[in-house]
Structure 1
Amino acid sequence: MENQLERLKGAFLAIISHELRTPLTEIITALNLLQDNYTGSLNAQQRNYIAIADNAASHLDMLISDLIAFAQLQAETVETRREATLLAELVSYVVEQHRARAQAQHLNLLFSAPQRLPPVPVDRSLMTRVVANLIINAINFTPPGGHVMVRISAAVNEQCIVVQDTGVGIPEEKQDRLFESFYQAADSLTRQVGGLGIGLAYARRIVEAHHGKITFASVEGKGSTFTVHLPTQ
């Protein structure tokens, strides 16, 4: 009975999240059109009000993503549809999606990858979420003027996605709980950034479903490095 209730709760959250995201997407699209002067030029005050609305909509979008992730965490397994994928292309695409966010926070977002690495079997949609989560975290917890460096590396029987930042870092006493659902390590800054603290737990579930792992190293006040290890076979 308890397992059935958990499944029903997860299904309910997934449905509600979808129903919330559909109108929110339309709101964000309309705001983007206004920002692009689709209906005519805007004065400074109008742009300021639209920017406030856009930031609020982006925050809601992040919360909905967390709800979807939580619903999927309730599932006993994460289903993957793996296909041969060039990690450099996938990660580069995600980096470009978040370049504007980094620039808005006055951060330098960098990407590098070796040439001619063979493809890796991954679920492209799920792995995109993992990379996006790590990049967003790095951007959110790095002060202006800092750097977020994303790179691909190769080792024996695996390829790695590395996201390194010069951010606030994670206190040593909180590192053991970092991948717990709803746990947020950087308390004061997290309250400013928002989110439910689900992203890393979900990211780890996805990576483990690929028979990989996520490792990290962090020094408070100096930054963090998260590494996704993916088997090549």
Structure 2
Amino acid sequence: MKQTLKILVVDDNEVDRMAVRDALTKAGVQMELFEVSDGNDAFSALSTTAYDCVFFDYRLPDQHGLTFIQQLRSLKIKVPSVVLTAQGDEQIAVQLIKAGATDYLSKSKISPEMLAQVLRSAIRIYWAETQAALVNQQLRESHEQLIRKNQELQRQQQQIQMQNFKLLEVSQLKSHFLATMSHELRTPMNAIIGFSQILFRSKFGQLTHQQADMVERILNNGKHLLMLVNEVLDFSKLEAGRLDLKAEIFDVSKVINLTVGEMRSLADAKNLSLLVQTDLQNTLVFNDPVRIKQILINLLSNAIKFTESGEIWVEVKELPASRVTIVVRDTGIGIAPRDFKRIFEAFRQVDQTITRKYPGTGLGLAIIDSLVRMMGGKIFLESKLGIGSMFKIELPRQIRLFTEAADAPAIQLDGDEIYRSAKNPHNSSSQTR
């Protein structure tokens, strides 16, 4: 032991104290040795000085060794303690160790080697116990801290759940409000459109050029407003899961040509070329013709809206695995790559300002995306700023309605079988952008 140790010897027998002193000296222990003869003096010394080890007789004149150990613990005095016992008192020494003593040594076995060994062992045991107690304390504190954090996380989780419930309730109320308002607005809008059309009939009198122009503006704006209202109504139904596809067998090329014909006047008004190319060996499909038309109208409306000059192409092609694709290309303003994902979000437009050049609800592409998913299809987007955009819709030739029985009979279409299945199309579809 290289460091100087402070050692306290507690024994009323001066000869025994001398024996301890001599043995430690001969063992070469560098120390400051202090001696007292009873327990009271020992506690006075221990309360004012930090000792590295205490050797004490288990039979002190003023108290028993067990009492001495208990008082050390009650006063929270921590120090390595070695009990010096008489011959045959090993059992008592064991009890003292159980009470808190570090080690014991029979006075008859005191020797330089033995005493030095006991001293080193007592100090090591004490420091090991101290470190273990410190680690245990840290573990307890960590455990308590984890419990507090866990409680805080549970509290936050409950708050998040409550917020989610509130958000869900608000979303449901919003969807219900949109559906209700859209439905209520359709009635007067249909009346405005209907009466505007009646005014054009000759049996109600010939309109002047100025009157006809005003009635035509009312009619066109009424139709436009009704289209916006229908978009909101469709979106609210899609969001609430209450929009069902009404599938039937129809000629997809006819639906596309009729739809393009309806939209051609809008393209002509901007001097845009609107071209259609159909390349299908079999033009019959099993799908919802109204929703197919809605998808194409939304795509063409966007293409015409965002194209100032040039051309718009509509292509319908055959794909492997009994699929068809509808492609709408334009030479419009294009879309930045960072906006590819955002434009499919509801109410989202690239320009969100109220002074934006291109009006609209921002629901068109969101509705298209939802309808394509319902049909078990995919939608692809390619675009470059200033060059144009390409939206490609891939759809199965026959959609699967999950409300139909899985074992329903197949429908034969010119050699192509269209199967009805109870499989949910949302689970079998994917989207690529």
Measured in 2, the distance between the counterparts of 1:107 and 1:24 equals 30
Displacement of 1:36 after TM fit?
6.7
What TM-score results when the alignment is normalised by the length of structure 2? Answer: 0.48
- Give yes or no for contact 2:281–2:318 (8 Å, CA) kept in 1: no
Q: Does 1:204 align with 2:369?
A: yes
- Supply the distance in 1 between the matched residues of 2:225 and 2:306 (Cα, whole angstroms): 19
Number of the residue aligned with 1:12: 177
Bigger Rg, structure 1 or 2: 2
Does residue 317 of structure 2 align to residue 153 of structure 1? yes
Residue 131 of structure 2 aligns with which residue?
none
Aligned to 1:65: 230
Name 2:124's counterpart in structure 1.
Answer: none
Taking the TM superposition and a 5 Å limit, the aligned residue runs for 1:211-222 are 211-222=376-387
Question: Which digits, 9 at most, give the CA deviation of each residue in 1:110-167, with x for residues without a partner?
Answer: 2121253252221222222111111111111111x42221120111121001111111
The whole-number CA distance in structure 2 between the counterparts of 1:146 and 1:188 is 27
- Aligned partner letter, 1:230: L
For residue 81 of structure 1, the aligned residue among 246, 259, 262 is: 246
Structure 1 residues 56 and 191 mapped into 2: Cα distance closer, same or farther (>3 Å)? farther
User: Structure 1 stretch 212-221 or stretch 73-82: which is displaced more?
Assistant: 73-82
2:272–2:310 contact (8 Å) kept in structure 1: yes
User: 1:55-204 to 2 correspondence within 5 Å?
Assistant: 55-76=220-241, 78-143=243-308, 145-157=309-321, 158-186=323-351, 191-204=356-369
* C-alpha separation in 1, matches of 2:202 and 2:306: 32
Question: Tell me, what secondary structure is at the counterpart of 2:318?
Answer: strand
Aligned in 2, Cα 1:146/1:35: closer, same or farther, shift over 3 Å? farther
For the residue of structure 2 that corresponds to 1:113, the secondary structure is: strand
Q: Structure 1's 213 and 166: CA in aligned 2 closer, same or farther, altered over 3 A? A: same
SS of equivalent to 1:169: coil
The 1:160–1:197 alpha-carbon spacing in structure 2 relative to 1, beyond 3 Å, is same
Gaps of 5+ in 2: 1-164, 399-433
Higher RCO (CA-CA < 8 Å; seq separation 6+): 1
Cα distance in 2 for partners of 1:112, 1:76 equals 34
221-230 vs 68-77, which moves further: 68-77
| Residue number in structure 2 paired with 1:228 | 393
Whether the aligned pair in 1 keeps the contact of 2:253 and 2:278 (CA below 8 Å) is: yes
**Are the counterparts in 1 of residues 340 and 381 from structure 2 also a CA contact under 8 Å?**
no
Q: Structure 2 matches for 1:29-48, cutoff 5 A?
A: 29-34=194-199, 39-48=204-213
What is the aligned-residue identity percentage? Answer: 34
Structure 2 CA distance for aligned equivalents of residues 201 and 174 of structure 1 = 14
> Is the CA contact (8 Å cut-off) linking 2:196 and 2:215 kept in structure 1?
yes
Query: Is this contact kept in 1: 2:333–2:388, CA < 8 A?
Result: yes
Q: How much has 1:228 moved relative to structure 2?
A: 0.8
Say if 1:231 and 1:163 are closer, same or farther in 2 by CA, change over 3 A.
Answer: same
Question: TM-score w.r.t. structure 1 length?
Answer: 0.85
Which one-letter code corresponds to 1:17 in the other structure? Answer: S
Q: Say which SS state the counterpart of residue 184 (structure 1) adopts.
A: coil
| 8 Å contact kept, 2:314–2:326 | yes
Distance in 1, matches of 2:346 and 2:355, equals 14
> Structure 1 residues 229 and 76 mapped into 2: Cα distance closer, same or farther (>3 Å)?
same
Structure 1 window deviating more from structure 2 (23-32 vs 219-228): it is 23-32
- 1:25 matched to 2:185: no
Unaligned 5+ runs, structure 1: none
Q: Which range is displaced more, 157-166 or 88-97?
A: 88-97
Q: Could you tell me how far apart the structure 2 residues matched to 1:38 and 1:99 are?
A: 30
SS of equivalent residue, structure 2 residue 268? helix
Change (3 A) 1:227 1:186: farther
Q: CA deviation at 1:4?
A: 5.5
